Amino acid sequence: MRFAKLQATGNDFVLIEAEEERDWPPLARLMCNRHLGVGGDGLIVLLPSMAGDLRMRLFNPDGSEAETCGNGLRCLVRYAVDSQLTDRGEISVETQDGIKKVFIQGDLLQVEMGSPRFTPDEIPVSLEPKTDTVIDLPVTIGGIKLKLTCLSMGNPHAVCFMDEPVARFPLGEIGPEVENHPMFPNRVNLEVANVLGPQRIMARVWERGVGETLSCGTGACAVMVAAHLQQMVSDEVDVILPGGLLTISWTGVGEVKLRGPAHLVFRGEWLG
């Protein structure tokens, strides 16, 4: 089975082309293993689409399926362009969260990520009593007091803004506790962030089903949207992650736009 390895600001994926479905979760667990497989933050399966130009399914290293992925979308389109599967400047990709449009802008790719969702049922978050939005929800995890702003970018996110540098935050200990907290029936991605100014945010991400990653596209979008909701930032923000910089645009209504690079690293053949 032929595959390609791609990365977008350090968020790395194994990608395979397929004409039909198969049992992907076991293959994802094998191929994404960093010691016994190719290694990656996820397995992207590129499939034919009846609704868009391409179809993407993405499976985490634990075998669970992600609804959408901003970095994965850019990697899939970069692969399609480099492999001459398309020569268009605008590509529609069918995902589990609907159609996403990706625009080629030289070395960068811009993804229309859809509109954020804020109600507890849409995220989802189980709260009593229910509220219209979840902003600065106080939660204590491992003796650490957090204030979580929750939203969906097609997948669930909990964003925590803090004054202490995010580099010092024990994300490896707190991340899995938040991910699997009973209030999140579908688990959740956790972002910790420092707002550095109206156009700059520093962030780290604990991804559901993956662990800490160098970058997360939907996570960067969630951080920017959460900051915008609280009037901390302007309509365009550079989100600085351990793996690099992503630019997020949102006016407060409508589509969130994500811009950043994606690169083909190598191609290979899977013999497992």
Per-residue model confidence as pLDDT tens for the chain (272 residues)? 999 999 999 999 999 999 999 999 999 999 999 999 999 999 999 999 999 999 999 999 999 999 999 999 999 999 999 999 998 899 999 999 999 999 999 999 999 999 999 999 999 999 988 889 999 999 999 999 999 999 999 999 999 999 999 999 999 999 999 999 999 999 999 999 999 999 999 999 999 999 999 999 999 999 999 999 999 999 999 999 999 999 999 999 999 999 999 999 999 999 97
Question: What positions carry a catalytic annotation?
Answer: 69, 216
pLDDT of residue 130: 83
Tokens of 157: 């996110």
Residue whose pair of structure tokens reads 């994606």 in the numeric block: 262
pLDDT of residue 33: 98
Spatial CA neighbour of 161 closest among 206, 131, 202, 132: 202
pLDDT of residue 10: 98
How is residue 68 annotated by DSSP?
Answer: -
CATH tag for 134-254 (out of 3.40.50.2300, 3.10.310.10, 3.50.50.60, 3.30.479.30): 3.10.310.10
Angle at 221 between CA 87 and CA 21, to 5 degrees: 55
CATH superfamily entry for domain 2-113+260-269: Diaminopimelate Epimerase; Chain A, domain 1 (3.10.310.10)
Tokens of 13: 């994926």
CA distance 36 to 174: 27
pLDDT of residue 243: 98
pLDDT of residue 218: 98
The pTM of this model reads: 0.95
Residue ranges matching CATH 3.10.310.10 in the chain? 2-113+260-269, 134-254
